[in-house]
């Protein structure tokens, strides 16, 4: 993977951005509510630059990255999760995955997203239309991945993920995903929040949390505050004693590389590979859809890959 641009004007700013981009798992409500907060400002900006996205595309895919990052806080070891959306609206869908190390990658199924007129709000319902949301867990100790799927009920990734967890995993959950743009369309903040009820959580507490989450300010603005996350959580959830358990990095990261792409080329049908090595067109260009990195192979490269494939 090649990052087209790093977030931050100099090394000091880049290190500061890396320090602030974090997942914060926490417990509250006498340990009956599990939560995760994320500051993913650097991640979403670097995602945008690599995929060369406009404002609407950044908003949609950025929500997907933030959601995958939040869920990744529940993983361990070599576990991975994938969120897939397929829909009838102009968005068409997205595919995003994250691992237990907080590394997130993924892509939109339609770029650019066609629009008839300039955006008047960040209501994405008209852009999703009807569709399905699925979450797949690739657990290290499981023989097969587990996939749950629900029909999208809200046209909002945050609300539909809450709907998924309730219907597919019987786990009352709430998500808040936010990206804050300045007047010029630049991402100034990107953040998210996930809350999940643990066994023993009283219904009265769940009702209270639902109201509190509904009234939260934009998470995209919240992550830019100097008091994020501890004082912010205490103020957002008064009397519930949020207690942060850990701090984990989160990053836009894809582990594609030239060698892996070359191995994929070597697995092509021998006749097809031979024709490609002879006739091109050169350079043969292959783009990773998860990070938009372009890999180019000239005639010599293809000849070497073909020779290695014969061994």
Complete domains list, the chain, with CATH: 16-252 (3.55.30.10), 258-310 (3.90.1280.10)
Summarize the confidence of residues 187-216 as an average pLDDT: 93
Q: How many residues does the chain have?
A: 311
Tell me the angle at which helices 258-266 and 299-310 cross, rounded to the nearest 10 degrees. Answer: 60
* Residue 112 phi, psi (nearest 5): -75, 160
Binning pLDDT at 50, 70 and 90, where does residue 165 land? very high
Binning pLDDT at 50, 70 and 90, where does residue 242 land? very high
Summarize the confidence of residues 44-50 as an average pLDDT: 98
- Give the pLDDT confidence score for residue 226 in this predicted structure: 83
242 touches 232 (CB < 8 A): no
- Give the pLDDT confidence score for residue 62 in this predicted structure: 98
How far lies 152's CA from each of 157, 168, 237, in Å?
A: 9, 13, 29
- Give the pLDDT confidence score for residue 73 in this predicted structure: 96
pLDDT at 118 over 80: no
169 touches 5 (CB < 8 A): no
- Going across the sheet that includes 146-151, the strands are 146-151, 131-138, 80-87, 93-99, 103-108, 251-252
186 touches 62 (CB < 8 A): no
Q: Which two tokens stand for residue 104?
A: 């997130």
Summarize the confidence of residues 166-195 as an average pLDDT: 95
Q: What is the pTM of this model?
A: 0.95
Place of tokens 């000091």: 12
Q: SS3 sequence, 63-84?
A: HHHHHHHHHHCCCCCCCEEEEE
pLDDT at 189 over 80: yes
* Residue 310 phi, psi (nearest 5): -75, -20
Burial of residue 81 (CB within 10 Å: 0-12, 13-18, 19+) is buried
Residues 88, 91, 95, 100: is their CA dihedral positive or negative?
negative
* Other Cβ atoms within 10 Å of 49 Cβ, number: 17
- Give the pLDDT confidence score for residue 160 in this predicted structure: 97
- Cis-peptide, bond into residue 229, ω within 30° of zero: yes
| Coil/strand/helix, residue 231 | helix
Burial of residue 20 (CB within 10 Å: 0-12, 13-18, 19+) is middle
- Give the pLDDT confidence score for residue 141 in this predicted structure: 87
What is the DSSP track for 183-218? TTS-EEEEEEEEEEEPTT--HHHHHHHHHHHHTPPP
* Whole-angstrom distance, CA of residue 273 vs CA of residue 268: 6
Q: What is the largest CA-CA distance in the chain?
A: 71
Q: Which two tokens stand for residue 89?
A: 């609206």
| Coil/strand/helix, residue 238 | coil
Binning pLDDT at 50, 70 and 90, where does residue 225 land? confident
Summarize the confidence of residues 105-134 as an average pLDDT: 91
* Residue 84 phi, psi (nearest 5): -130, 135
27 membership: H or E segment, kind and range: strand 22-28
* Whole-angstrom distance, CA of residue 149 vs CA of residue 85: 10
Binning pLDDT at 50, 70 and 90, where does residue 237 land? very high
pLDDT at 22 over 90: yes
């Amino acid at each position: 993977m090649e990052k087209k641009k790093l977030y931050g004007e100099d090394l000091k700013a880049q290190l500061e951005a890396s320090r602030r981009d974090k997942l914060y798992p926490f417990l509250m409500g006498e340990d009956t509510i599990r939560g995760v907060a994320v500051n993913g400002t650097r991640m979403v900006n670097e995602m945008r630059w690599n995929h060369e996205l406009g404002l609407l595309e950044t908003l949609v895919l950025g929500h997907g990255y933030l959601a995958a990052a939040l869920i990744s806080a529940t993983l361990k070891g070599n576990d991975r999760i994938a969120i897939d959306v397929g829909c009838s609206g102009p968005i068409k869908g997205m595919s995003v995955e994250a691992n237990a190390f907080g590394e997130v990658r993924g892509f939109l199924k339609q770029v650019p997203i066609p629009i008839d007129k300039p955006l008047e709000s960040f209501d994405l319902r008209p852009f999703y239309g009807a569709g399905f949301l699925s979450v797949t867990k690739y657990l290290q100790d499981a023989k097969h991945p587990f996939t749950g799927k629900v029909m999208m009920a809200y046209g909002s990734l945050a609300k539909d993920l809450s709907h998924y967890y309730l219907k597919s995993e019987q786990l009352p959950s709430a998500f808040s995903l936010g990206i804050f743009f300045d007047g010029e369309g630049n991402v100034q903040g990107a953040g998210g929040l996930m809350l999940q009820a643990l066994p023993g959580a009283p219904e009265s507490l769940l009702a209270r949390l639902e109201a509190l989450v509904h009234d939260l300010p934009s998470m995209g603005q919240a992550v830019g505050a100097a008091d994020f996350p501890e004082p912010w959580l205490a103020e957002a959830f008064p009397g519930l004693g949020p207690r942060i358990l850990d701090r984990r990095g989160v990053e836009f990261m894809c582990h594609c590389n030239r060698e892996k792409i070359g191995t994929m080329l070597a697995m092509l049908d021998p006749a097809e590979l031979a024709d490609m090595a002879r006739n091109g067109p050169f350079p043969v260009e292959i783009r990773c859809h998860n990070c938009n990195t372009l890999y180019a192979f000239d005639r010599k490269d293809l000849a070497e890959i073909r020779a290695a494939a014969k061994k």
